[in-house]
Chain A
Amino acid sequence: MASRKKVLLKVIILGDSGVGKTSLMNQFVNKKFSNQYKATIGADFLTKEVIVDDRIVTMQIWDTAGQERFQSLGMAFFRGADCCVLVFDVTAPNTFKSLESWRDEFLIQASPRDPDNFPFVILGNKVDLENRGVSAKRAQQWCQSKNDLPYFETSAKEAVNVELAFQTIARNALAQETEAELYNEFPDQIKLNANDNARNRDGDNCAC
C-alpha cells in the first residue's frame, strides 16, 4: 500500500467578501474562530486529513479573495477542483443573490469535466447572528432549483454544522474524484474497511 497515491481533494471556497470564508476554513481545519481575520488577499489554502467512507483523504481547501475582480487571477489555480463551496451570509441578502454568479463564474473558469454534476455545496454562514436576511426556506429553494445542491446553515463562530458541512464536501468531492479512478482504488478500500472495523471496535471499548 505504500505506493498508493495520496488522495488529495481540492476544494475551493467562493463567496462575497466578508461572508466568512476564511473563518469557515479555519474553523474546520484548526477548530478555532478568530475575529481578527483580515480580508483575504490573493489565495491561501489549508490542508486537513479527513476520513470519508473509510478512506483517508487530504482536503486542500482554498480560500479566496471575496471581491469578484480578484477572481480572474486566482481561478487559474482552481482547475482540477473536486468540489466548490459557495458561501453566503444569512444576514446579507445580496451575498445570497450573488451565489448564482459565483457558481457560473466557477464553472467557466475551472471548466470541470461534467459541469452539470459538479459538486457544489452551499453554506449559509453566520446563523449565530440574529438579524437574518435570508430565510432558510429561501436558500433551500434555491439549492433545490440548482440540481438539489446540499445546503447547510453554519456558524463559523460557534462551529455550528461546520464539521458536517465539510464532511459532505469531502464526500462529494471524493465521489467526483473516485469516478475517475474507481478501478485503481478498489483494492485499497477493502483493506481500509478491515482497519476501520477494528478501529470502531476499539472506539466502543474505549468509551468510558
Chain B
Amino acid sequence: MAAENKVESEADEMPAAAAADPSAEQKERLIAAVKKEVKQLMEEAVTRKFVHEESGGVTALCGAVEACLGQGLRRRALGLFKTSSTTALLHKIAKHCPEAALVSARVLSAEGAPATRSASGVERRPSAPRPPLNKRGSGSLLSQTPTQSRYLWIRIALFERQLAKIIEHLVNNATRYYERDALVADPDYGSILSSLLVGPCALEYSKAKAPACFWSDPPADELVQRHRMSAGTTTPPSVRRPILNFRRSLNASSDDTSGSSAGSATVSSAKDYVESLHQNSRATLLYGKNNVRVQPKDVEEPMPGYLSLHQTAAGLVIKWTPNQLMNGYAESEGVDKSVYWAMSLQVCVWEVVYVHVHRARASDALILVGQDGVQRPPIHFPKGGHLLSFLSNLETGLLPHGQLDPPLWSQRGTGKVFGRGKSRRRPMPSLCESGETEETEWEDVAGDYVFRIVNNAIADREAMRHSLLERAVQSPPRTPRRPLASTSTTSSDSSTMSVDCPPSAIINGQPPLTPAQIPPIEQAASIELVCSTMRRQIISRAFYGWLAYCRHLSTVRTHLSGLVHPNIVPTDGTESGLTEEIWQSMMDENGAVHNGDEVYRLVYYGGVQQNIRRDVWPYLLGYYEFGSTSEQRSEQDAACRRQYETTMSEWLCVEAIVKQRDREATAASIARLTEAAGRATSSTVETGEVFEDDCSVISDNPPIVSPEPSEREQKPESKPVLSRAPSIDEVENIEMDSEEKGRNDSKVNGETDGTSDSKEHVDVDSLNDIDDDEVYIKSVVENPDMRRESIAEIKRLAEGIVQKGDGRGLLCSVDSGNMTLNGNDLKSSMEESQPPQQKHASVIITNPSVDLAASGSPASSGTTANVSPARSPLGVVREESHSAGASFDTLEPSGDARPDNRSNCVSPASSNGGVYSNELVETFALNLHRIEKDVQRCDRNYPFFTDENLDKLRNIMCTYVWEHLDTGYMQGMCDLAAPLLVTMREEAAAHALFSRLMLRAKDNFPTGQAMDAHFADMRSLIQILDCELYELMHAHGDYTHFYFCYRWFLLDFKRELLYQDVFAAWELIWAARHVASEHMVLFIALALLETYRDVILANSMDFTDIIKFFNEMAERHDASAVLSLARDLVLQVQTLIENK
C-alpha cells in the first residue's frame, strides 16, 4: 500500500499547490501544460498516423488534464475529501452527464470489477485506489503503479472520445464542483481546456503496436541500455568463454527460446521481456494480459504479472513477467531485480505437449506440460473469459503448422468456446465430431480440459521417418489408433494420426511417458529399435563433430597464424604502462633508449603516460631508432625539418598559382552572376562587358579542374585584367598596361629593400581605383592579412634565431621561384604573362613578405627581391611563415642550411621536368581544395584546433600530398594526422610521424588492398572466436557485411573513440606490431564487436542495423575495456595456435 499512498499523495500535492496559489499565472501554467501536451500528441498522431495508448504523450496529457481538473476542486463540499483523484468526481457527475456515466462504467470494469456490475456507474467508490489494477496484489511488495493505469479515467475517457464532453460538462456546471477561482470555473480557461481536448479526443488510439511499419528502430543507446538492464547480472564480456565451447553460453540469446524452464533462461528471457515491452519487427504480440497470477518456485503466494503470447520466427512463445519488472527503467536502478527475472517464465509452445486447463469458481488455471513431462507453474487467469481468449489466440497462433487438439469449439455468436466433452473426467471423443450439444451449462461448470499441441511440421517429418524405419525392420505396422502416449487427447481418425506427436518426442529422446501411460508391450520392440537408431546417430554425430572440430582448427592455423606472433609476451609489471619514471630510467647518459622490446611491452599492456607521449611516439612509429642518442635525434629532427620546409616551399609556389586561378574562377562566376544581374542596369554595363569577355574564356573551361594548356598561361593575366577593368577599355591595352605596371613593380622591388610603406600605398591606390571589384578584392586581401598575423605570432615565439631562419626561408623560396620562372620561360616563353601576375602579386600579397624580410636579413631579401619572379612573393610569405614556425627549437647551423635548401629546392623542380606542368598544378589544386574542405571540418569541436593549428594541419596534409601526388589526398588523412599533431604540437615532427603512419595506413585507403584483407581476416576471426555471431553475420553471404568496420580500419578507430582513447588505441596498435600482432586493429575491431555481441545477437541486427548501431555508438565506447578485451583476444588466438 505504500506505493499507492505515494501516488496518492503525489497527486494530492498538485491541486493543493494549485489551490494555494490561485493566481492567473498558475492557471496559465496549467493550461499551457495541457496545450503543450495536446500539441505533442497531435504531432505524434500526424507523424505516426495513430497514437499508441501507452504512449508517453498520452500519459503526459492525462497528467496535465488531471492537474487542471484537480485545481480548485471542492473536495470537502463534494465529499471527495481524501480521495486522491478526480476519479470520484467522475463517478459523481456520472449521474448528470451520460458521457461521464459511460466512462465511469468503463473505469469500474477496467478496475477489475465484475462485468455484471451495473453499468450505470452510480455506485461511488470513494476509496477507489488509484492504481486499481494492483488492488488484488497480494502484498505491498507487489504494488507498484503500472504507468498505464495512472489517470485511468482520463485515459479511458480520452480513448472513448468522451473527455472533451465530460470536461465541457464540468465547465458548464463548474459552480457546483469547483471553487470560484478554479481553472475550470474560469470562463476563459475552462472553455479553452475543453476545446483543447477536442482534438486528442478525435484521434485514433491503438492498443497494439503490432504493425511493423509503425515500429521504428530504437537508437543504439537504447539498445545498449536495454541490454545492460536486462543483463545486469551476467558476466562481463572480458571474462572470456572457453574457446570453441561457448557457443551455447547462458548469455547467448539468439535461440533463447530453447531454454524452456523458468529458471534456466533467466537472463535471456529477461532481455526478451524487455524486448517484448517494445514490440519489434520480429515478434508479433498475439495476446497480452496483465495481472495474470503465477506462483513461481520459492514464493508462497501467486504473484500477478503480465502474460503475453508472441509469434516469433521460431514459433510461439508464452511469456510471463512479474509486475515488478514491468515498470520503467528508471525505477529499476539500484533494485536487485534478478530475483524477479528468475521468476519470470518463458515457454516455447513447440516444447509444450499438453495444456491442462482447470476451471474453478475462483479463477481459471492453465498448466503447461512440456515434452519432458515437467509441469510449468500454473498460470491463473482472472475470471471473465481471459483464459478462453488466451487459448483462442494460442490456437490461431499455432496455425498453419500446428493446432490445438482438440480444437476449441467455435460457436456462432459467442466466439470460441471450450470443446465439448474434452474434460478429462468425461472423455467423449466423438462428441466433438458429432457436434452434439447436450450440456448447455458447461461453461459455468468447473472442469478440467486437456489440449495437446500438435506440431504438424515436425510431426509430419518424424512420422514419415518413423514409418520408414518400421518398414525396414518389418515391425508390425502401426495402427492409427495406437498413440504411444495419450491421456485424454483423441487422435480420432487415421488422417490425424500422421501428425501425431509422440514419435517425434521419442526421436528427440524425451519420451513423454508418465507413470500412468505405460505403453503396450508390442511397442517395446519398436522403441528398442528407435533407441538403437538413436545410439547410432549419437555416435555418428559425435564423429562428425570431432571431424568438424579438426577442420576448424586447421582453418584456425592456416588463416590465423599470420595474424599473431607465436610467442606470448608476459604481462608482468606492466600495469601502469610506460610512465615518465620508467622512461627516464631507461635512458642512458646520452639520452639513448636501448631496450625497445621492453618499451613495446610496457606500451602494449599499459599505454604511455600522457606527458611523455611526445617523446615516445616517434619511437613507436619507428621514426626514431632505439639506441639513438639525443644528439642524433636532434640532428634527425633538424634534417627532417629542413626537408619539410623545402617541400613546403615547393608546394607553396604551386599553391600561389592555384589561389590565383581560384580567384579567377570566383571572379568568373561572380562575373557570370553580375552579368545576369547587370543586364538590367545600364550603369554597370562597362564592367559587365569586360567580365563577360573574360568569363567566356573561363566558363567553358572550369579553371580549377580542366583548363586547356594554352590558356593556363593566359589565366594569370586575367586577374589584373578583371581588377583593373573599369579603367581600361580594351583587353590588349590591359595586357600592355599591366605588363608595364608589373615591370614597374618589380623595379620598385629592386630599388628598395624595406619599401613596404610605399608599396602599401600602391596597394591602396590600386584598390581605390577599383570600385566594382572592391568586395572581391577585399576578400583576397584579407587572407594575406590573416596569414601575416599568424606569422607574426610564430615569429614572436621563435625569437632571435628565427630571423636567420627567415632569411634562409626567403632565399630558398626565391630560388625555387626563380626556377619556376625559368621553367616557364623555357617552356612557354610567354613573358607577357609573367609581369601582370607579378604585379598582381605585389599589389596584394607582397607586403607581408617585405615586412618580414625587412626584419630578417635585409641584404638577402634585397637580392631576392630583384630576381623575384612572378609567383615568388606569395611563396615567400608562406615560406617565411613556415620556416619561422618550424624554427621553434632550431639549433641548426645556418651556414649549412643555405646550400642544403638551395640544392633541395632545385632538385624537385628539375625532377618535375617542366616545372609545375599544368597537370601538376591541376592535380595539386584538386587536392588542395579537398584538403581545405576537410581540414576545416576536422575535429572543429576539439579545442586544440584553432585556426592556427588548423593551418598547421593543412600544411602537413599539403606537404604529404605534395610528396605523394600520385595517390593524392584521400578523405580520412586529416583524421589520421590530427592526433599526431595534437600530441607532437609541431608541424614537421607531426608530418614525419604521419608519413610513418601512412606507410601502413595507405593500404587501407581505396587505392590499397588492405581493407579487403581486413574484412576477410575479420571473418575468419569471428568464425573462430564467436561462431554464433559469425552465423548471424554470415547469414547474408559475403563479407561486405564487415563494412561497418570500414571506418574503424581506415582511421584506426580515430572516429570511434575520444581523443585520449585514440591515443591509447594507437599506442596499442603500434606497440602490438612488435609484441603480439601486426594486425592489432583486427583485434580491437573484434573487441568492439564482442563488447556488443549480445546486443547484436539479441536484436538479430542485419548489416545495416550494425552500421547504424556503431555509427551511433561512436565515441561512446568504454575504450579501456575494449582495448583490454582486444589483448585478451590476441592471447586467445595465440593460445589456440600454440595448442596444436
Contacts and interface: CB of A to CB of B under 8 A. Distances in A.
Interface of A: 1-2, 4-7, 17-18, 35-47, 49-51, 56-58, 60, 65-67, 69-70, 72-74, 76-77, 93-94, 97, 131-135, 137, 192, 195-196, 198-199, 201-203, 205-206, 208
Contacts of A4: 211-213
Contacts of B446: none
B337 interface: no
A6 B1040 contact: no
Interface string B209-234: 01111111100000000000000000
B634 interface: no
Contacts of B938: 38-39
A44 B1108 contact: yes
Contacts of A2: 208, 210-212, 284
Contact of A93 (B211, B212, B665, B1111): B665
A194 to B, nearest CB: 10
B1040 A76 contact: yes
A67 B213 contact: no
Given A51-B49, A67-B970, A195-B50, A43 B1107 contact: yes
Main secondary structure of the interface of B (DSSP, over half): helix
A38 B1046 contact: no
Contacts of A195: 49-50, 204
A67 B961 CA distance: 15
A94 B705 contact: yes
Contact of A206 (B199, B214, B673, B1040): B199
A201 B216 CA distance: 26
A19 to B, nearest CB: 10
A199 B1104 contact: no
Contacts of A57: 213
B46 interface: yes
Contact of A133 (B211, B669, B930): B669
Main SS at interface, chain A: mixed
18 contacts: A1-B211, A5-B212, A18-B933, A38-B975, A39-B971, A39-B974, A40-B971, A41-B1050, A45-B1104, A45-B1108, A47-B216, A49-B214, A133-B669, A195-B50, A202-B199, A203-B42, A203-B46, A205-B198
B195 A70 contact: no
A73 to B, nearest CB: 6
B281 A6 contact: yes
A133 B667 CA distance: 9
Interface residues of B, number: 64
Contacts, number: 155
A35 B1043 contact: no
A93 B702 contact: yes
B42 A206 contact: yes
Contacts of B213: 4-7, 56-58
Contacts of A41: 971-972, 975, 1046-1047, 1050-1051, 1055
Given A17-B930, A45-B1107, A65 B669 contact: no
B161 to A, nearest CB: 11
A39 B42 contact: no
B1006 A17 contact: no
B791 interface: no
A67 B970 CA distance: 7
A38 B1055 contact: yes
Interface string B487-522: 000000000000000000000000000000000000
Given A6-B281, A56-B213, A67 B930 contact: yes
B203 A66 contact: no
A41 to B, nearest CB: 5
Contacts of A47: 216-217, 1108
A93 to B, nearest CB: 6
A186 to B, nearest CB: 16
A49 B216 contact: yes
A183 to B, nearest CB: 18
Contacts of A49: 47-48, 214, 216
A137 B971 CA distance: 32
B715 to A, nearest CB: 16
B705 A97 contact: yes
Interface string B930-947: 100110011111000000
Contacts of A74: 1043
A189 to B, nearest CB: 13
Given A2-B211, A6-B281, A135-B672, A205 B940 contact: no
A155 B212 CA distance: 33
Contact of B214 (A36, A56, A69): A56
Contacts of A5: 212-213
Contacts of A94: 702, 704-705
Given A38-B939, A42-B1046, A132-B669, 14 more contacts: A6-B213, A6-B281, A39-B938, A41-B1051, A43-B1043, A44-B1108, A49-B48, A70-B971, A97-B705, A132-B673, A195-B50, A198-B202, A202-B199, A206-B199
Contacts of B940: 35-36
B1107 A135 contact: no
Contacts of A76: 1040
A37 B1108 CA distance: 17
A195 B941 CA distance: 46
B638 to A, nearest CB: 34
A51 B46 CA distance: 8
Most chain B CB within a 10 A radius of its CB, from A1, A73, A202: A202
Interface string B985-1007: 00000000000000000000011
Nearest to A1: B211
Contacts of A18: 933-934, 937
A60 to B, nearest CB: 7
Given A199-B49, A202-B199, A205-B202, A65 B971 contact: yes
Q: For the complex of A and B, list the 3 residue pairs with the smallest distance between their C-beta atoms, beginning with the closest.
A: A206-B199, A133-B669, A18-B933
Interface in B42-86: 42, 45-50
Interface string B660-690: 0000011001101100100000000000000
B343 interface: no
B38 interface: yes
A136 to B, nearest CB: 10
Given A2-B211, A47-B216, A73 B1043 contact: yes
A42 B934 CA distance: 15
A199 B1011 CA distance: 51
Contacts of B975: 38-39, 41
A135 B971 CA distance: 29
A120 to B, nearest CB: 22
Interface in B1085-1130: 1104, 1107-1108, 1111
Contacts of B939: 38
Given A4-B211, A41-B1047, A205-B198, A135 B930 contact: no
A206 B44 CA distance: 14
A208 B195 CA distance: 9
A97 B665 CA distance: 14
A49 B1011 CA distance: 34
Contacts of A58: 213, 216
Nearest to B1011: A73
A94 B930 CA distance: 12
